[in-house]
Each structure stands twice: as C-alpha cells, then as structure tokens.
Structure 1
Amino acid sequence: MLGVSFVVFISVYLVPGDVARTVLGQQASDTAVQALREELGLNRPLLVQYGIWLWDLLQFDLGYSISQRVEVASLLGEKIVNSFILMGFSLFLVITVSFLLAVFSATHFRSIGDRLTIFGTLLLASAPTFWLGILLLYLFSVKFPLFPTSGMQNFYDPGGFWELVHHATLPAIATAASSIAIVTRVSRSAMIDVTNKTYMMALRSRGIRRRRLNYVHMVRNALPSFVNISGLQVGYLFGSAIFSEIIFNWPGIGLQLYNAILQRDVPMIQGCSLVIALTFVISNFLADFIVRALDASER
C-alpha cells in the first residue's frame, strides 16, 4: 500500500497541465491561479507534498475535493457501498458460473462440451469490458428493452432488492465476463491435474463410483486453486467495474474516479485509486487465509 500510495501520488502530477489552472478555467487570472496553488500546497516541492499527504493519509484524512470542496472521505462512503454492491453481484456470477463450467469441463474432458466451454471462455476473455457493456446495453436495453439502461433503481419509484437485481444484471455480466473465463480455465486445469494424481488412481482402483470420485475427491482437492484465483479476481472486478459504472451510469467509485479525472480533481483521484488498491490487497489476504484454512482441514 505504501508503494501504491507513492505511485498514485506521483502519476497524477506527471500528467501535463496545471491543476489550479484546470480548476479555475483557462480565463482565470495568474493571480487567482497562484493563490489557489498556494492554498492547495502545489507550490511546494513534490516530495514535501507527498510527505504531507502521506501523514494526513495515516490519520485517515484523504483531503478535500478540489471540484466539490468537500471532504473526499464523505463523498467516497456512499460510492464505495454502491461499488461493493455491483462487485458482489459480479463476484456471485464469477463463483457460481465458473465453478459449474469448470466442473462440467473437467468431468467431460476432451468432449464436445469441453471444447465448446474452452472456446466460449476464450471469447469472453478476449471481449473488453467496455465493448461488452455497450453490446449488452444495445441488445437488452435498447433493441429488446428487458433491462434498465442506467442507474441502480427507478428514480421516481424506488423499489427493493429485486429492482436492484434488475438494474445490476447487465453491468454485473459485463464486469464478470472476463473473470469467469479466467477462473473457469484455471480451475478446469487444476481439476484435470487432480484426476491424474496417484491417490485418484488408487481410489479408482478401489472401485469408487465415478460420480463420487469427481464431485467429492476431485472438486475438494481443487478447491484451494479455485479460491485462490477467485480471490485474485476481486481486485480485477473492482477495476473492470469502472467501465461498467461509466457505461451504465452506476453511481459507484468507478464513475466518481472517471469524473474526477475529467475535472483534474487530484485528491479525489488519489482517494479512489487507494480504495481500489486496498480492496485488492484485502481480497488477496482473505483468499490466502481461506486457502490456508482449506489446507488445514485436509490435515
């Protein structure tokens, strides 16, 4: 996280242009621009600015939004919740769909179904999130109006959970598509490797039924690989959700980050980037913890 904080801070200032000039507009006077630079501390050396910002960050102070003039943390609270809702739906799709596809493909190795699954996951992995989102939006919201075009709920008549599911379906599919392909292919390979282990050959020689062999022993011993790759996808989902939030106007941290970039709102860009990085770190830690617990249960 310390490395991420440094890269995020430095990369924003490497972008050409003057932040103060961008905020005030090109018609602003040099005096006004200089006054804003002094107010924001932009006239200090870069490393000094980083040290001050890092010290504030350690005190959970993300600074003030330049464009909206409010605390970054107060704006990010609701946005993070909305992004976690979308990521939750996406992760549910990744876990359920990829697990079922991996089990089906591994248990029907080299069959027509296995080859179709591999071909389908190759297509999904090659489809950019923004392209797939636009395609889904056109097909299922414009051409065939089955799902809403934007937002989390009906603005005039907010509904409950099922309305939220209705709004989240298309952005969740667009966000989860690439991860489904990756998790399916990695988990399938892990399950096939398990079937070739010596202990699996010993179980087959004892006459254990094929169904029990596949759905109990093979799946159970491939679970650590499945959990590990699924945990790695959480951070990727959070990043992919940026495109889905922009396309479907989902009021999450990705859309907030996009607007902050357009407005050169440096504190907001830094806050959003750090939240995404922190989510990735925590998800990887939890995945490692679960894998350790699975290994311990085996012993």
Structure 2
Amino acid sequence: MIICKTKGIMKILVNIVVSFFSLSFFTFIMAHIMPGDPLYAMFGESAEKISSVQKTRIIENMGLNKPLLYQYKDWLVNFFHGNLGISFKYNLPVKDVLMKALGNTLFLGIITIITIMIFSLLLGFLCALNEGSILDKILVKLGTFFYCVPGFWLALVLVLIFSVKAGWLPSSGIYEMGNEGDLMDRVRHTILPWLVVFLGHLGYYSNFVRDKVIEELKEDYLVTAKAKGVPKHRILFNHLLRNVMASYITLIAISVNHLLSGSLVIESIFSYPGVGKYIFEAAKYHDYTLLMGW
C-alpha cells in the first residue's frame, strides 16, 4: 500500500517537473523567435536613434547575443535562485511587477467570484421556483445571450454607453493620477471590467442553479416533505438549499481558474494593470524576462 502511494506521488512529481521544463522551454523559445526588437521595450521609439555599435553593446550586456540554449540555461539558474530578472519595459524587478499585477487581478477576481455566487444563486432559485413563467424565460434567455456575447464586444459597448455617452465611469486604468490611495476611485475604475466578466458568466451559473433546483424539487424526499405539511421555508433552507449548495460550491471551486483567466483579456481592453495587461504588453514589446515570469 505504501509502495503504491509512493509510486503515485513520484509519478505526479515527475509529471510536474516535465511539464515545467517543457512549458518554460517552449515559451522561452517562442518569445525569442517572434519578430521584433526587445530594445523597443527599453527605449521605445528612441531605439531607432541608437547606433548599431551601441545596440550591439546593449545586446551583449543583456546576454541576448548568446545561443538560445545558453540563454535558457542562464534563466533556469537565475530562476532557481529566486531571480526572475529585470523587466525591459518597466526597468523593475520582474517579481515586483508580478506582485503588483497579481494583487490587482485578485482584487477584480475575488469581487467577481463573490458577486457571481450571490446573484447566480438568487436568480437560479427565482427562475426555478417560477419555472415556465415569463420572468423565467426572459432571465434564461438574457443569461444565454450574455454568455454567448464576446467579452471584448460587450466591453466596447459598455465603454460607449457609460464612459463616452454618459461620462459616468472611467474607461481605463485603476485610479486617477494622484489618487493611488483612494478606494472609491479604485472601485469606480473596477466597475466596467467587473461588469463585463460578471455579465458574461452570470447566466451560466444561474442556469446551473436553476436546473439543479428543478431537479431536486422532483426528488421523493421533497415531495414527501410537502405532503407532510412541512413549511415551505424549512423545505427551502433545510433541505433544498443544502443539497444544491454542495454541487454549486464544487462547480465554483473547479471554475475559479476559468473565472480568473476570463478577466485577463478584459484587463488588456480596459488597460487595467493586472496580469492580463502585463502579459499582453510583455508579448507586444518582446519583454522576454517579464513574459517568462508569468
């Protein structure tokens, strides 16, 4: 028994190691063979004014003149020493950029997950308890519509309505210049990216709750409880909600990664300084060290 468990653990560890080296090597090679010049990440348009001699010297200092396998070996050595390098574009340690971006993404992601959980439960139960009604049909169709609409299109529509036309909400960034510590200003900048991810996923989870509640309502134990005259609120909270929540929490736990990754594209559209925006910029400006840090 112990031997079998040891073999299972060893197999998992081997898979993790193989996956890490394969993925990191593939990403490293692809990042370097993409057309473009990393000097643009460091100097912007001023890179065109740099002489060829200066370019050669800078590239040598950065170690980009070495064969790719040697560069990958250097990156691995630095990685295992906890050194992810310096970002070409931001001229900051990659770890600092990562932590800042991850914090912003988690701020948006946690708010999105909590609100989706609350509202999908409410809408799911509302639709299930009014199955077949006009309200049920409208909410189901709206949920399906927003789930099928591309996030980037919905983002542009919301920016047009709330930022361009009404002027109520900012269309980019995470706070106004000089308002870094203003929580309300940060919330205002988060509303539009949150709303896009929220609307895009709400229908899926509320429909899941709706279908699960309808399925549970047909179970024998609920039919028996109704026949015995058990109060409706006791049936709802003591039996139905408890059984639905078990499946629902499992689904949310499995989908956390999906919900967070769904916000990455939205971040780049709204210039929200999270993981998605920095990944996009790292690829765009050939910031190899920052791209590898993700």
TM interval, short-chain normalised: 0.7 to 0.9
Using the alignment, how far apart are the partners of 1:200 and 1:41 within structure 2? Answer: 72
The reply to whether residue 139 of structure 1 matches residue 177 of structure 2 is no
1:208 Cα deviation after fit? 1.3
**Which amino acid is 2:63 matched to?**
E
Using the alignment, how far apart are the partners of 1:75 and 1:164 within structure 2? Answer: 19
Q: Which residue of 1 aligns with 2:170?
A: 148
Q: Which residue of 2 aligns with 1:7?
A: 23
Determine if contact 1:24/1:33 at 8 Å carries over to the other structure. Answer: no
1:18 Cα deviation after fit? 5.3
1:133 Cα deviation after fit? 0.9
Structure-2 change in CA distance of 1:195 and 1:91 (3 Å): same
The 5-angstrom pairing of residues 81-96 of structure 1 reads 81-96=103-118
Which consecutive unaligned segments of at least 5 residues does structure 2 have? 1-15, 41-46
Determine if contact 2:59/2:65 at 8 Å carries over to the other structure. Answer: no
Q: Which residue of 2 aligns with 1:180?
A: 202
Q: TM-score normalized by structure 1?
A: 0.77
Using the alignment, how far apart are the partners of 1:42 and 1:191 within structure 2? Answer: 61
1:125 Cα deviation after fit? 0.7
The structure 1 residue matched to 2:143, chosen from 106, 113, 121, is: 121
CA RMSD of aligned residues (A): 3.0
Determine if contact 1:23/1:263 at 8 Å carries over to the other structure. Answer: yes
Q: Which residue of 1 aligns with 2:43?
A: none
Moved more, 31-40 or 137-146: 31-40
**Which amino acid is 1:160 matched to?**
D
The reply to whether residue 23 of structure 1 matches residue 45 of structure 2 is no
Moved more, 254-263 or 172-181: 172-181
Greater CA radius of gyration, 1 or 2?
2
The structure 1 residue matched to 2:215, chosen from 173, 185, 193, is: 193
The reply to whether residue 43 of structure 1 matches residue 67 of structure 2 is yes
The structure 1 residue matched to 2:264, chosen from 225, 228, 242, is: 242
Which consecutive unaligned segments of at least 5 residues does structure 1 have? 273-299
Q: Which residue of 1 aligns with 2:56?
A: 32
Using the alignment, how far apart are the partners of 1:205 and 1:18 within structure 2? Answer: 69
Moved more, 119-128 or 109-118: 109-118
**Which amino acid is 1:22 matched to?**
D
**Could you list the per-position Cα deviations for residues 205-259 of structure 1 after superposition, in whole angstroms to 9, with x for gaps in the alignment?**
2211233322431111111221122223322232222222222221222111111
Q: TM-score normalized by structure 2?
A: 0.78
Matched residue pairs, number?
269
Moved more, 84-93 or 95-104: 84-93
